Chain A
Amino acid sequence: MKINNVILQFTAKIVFFMIFFYAVHIFFAGHYTPGGGFVGGLVTASAIVLLIIAFDLKTVQSILPINYIYLIASGLLLALGTAGIAMFTGKPFFTHFFDYFNLPILGKTSLHTAALFDLGVYLVVVGVTMTIIQTIGEDE
Chain B
Amino acid sequence: MTILANILVVFFIAAGLVFIVVSAIGLLRLPDLYTRAHAASKSSTLGVMCILLGVFLHFWLIRDHFNPTILLGILFLFITSPVGGHIMSRSSYIAGVKPWSGTVRDDLKPEIERMKKEQKIK
Contacts and interface: CB of A to CB of B under 8 A. Distances in A.
Contacts of B115: 1-3
| Chain A, interface SS category | helix
A8 B94 CA distance: 16
B11 interface: no
A66 interface: no
Interface stretch (A10-18, A99-107, A108-116): A10-18
Interface string A13-56: 01100100010010000000000000000000000000000000
B91 to A, nearest CB: 9
A15 B94 contact: no
A14 B94 CA distance: 26
A1 B121 contact: yes
B38 to A, nearest CB: 16
A11 B80 contact: yes
A7 interface: yes
B72 A2 contact: no
Nearest to A18: B76
Given A1-B121, A11-B83, 18 more contacts: A1-B94, A2-B119, A3-B115, A7-B83, A7-B86, A7-B87, A8-B87, A11-B79, A14-B79, A15-B76, A15-B79, A15-B80, A18-B72, A18-B75, A18-B76, A22-B69, A22-B72, A25-B69
